[in-house]
Amino acid sequence: MRFLNRYGVSTVTSFKFTRLEPEADRETIEKQLATNPEWVIIDYPANNKAIVSRAALLIAMEKENFNLQDLEQVTAVIPISMQATLFQALETRTQAKTPSGYITMETRDGTKTVSGEITQDAIMNFYRRT
């Protein structure tokens, strides 16, 4: 497992995502899903973010009274730096007990922006292949 220290998170990061505000209506969500992202990042207040797969969001939308606010509790994720190694990402994710994390990049003005998504499955698949 320690050999994961040789590889950065960008090795297995998914960059196929879209972002939504928690107040987004069904029409806005459907337009974003039409771009065919693998993941949807929902920006909740207080810098909380949630990541949900496109497939899971489509299933959740089948409910008549669906709204994005309901997903905040079940999809909590943690930020992981773009400079982290795969081992660091795996440790961080394991300590936080979350299945995935979002990759952040720091801009010149010091703010952090989401640039991708990483899951334990992606890391473990890479580990098995290498």
CATH of domain 2-129: 3.10.580.10
Q: Which residue has the tokens 């299933």?
A: 59
How many angstroms separate the CA atoms of 12 and 22, rounded?
27
User: pLDDT of 4-34, one tens digit each?
Assistant: 899 999 999 888 889 999 899 999 999 999 9
User: pLDDT of 94-122, one tens digit each?
Assistant: 888 877 788 888 878 877 778 888 888 89
pTM above 0.75, yes or no: no
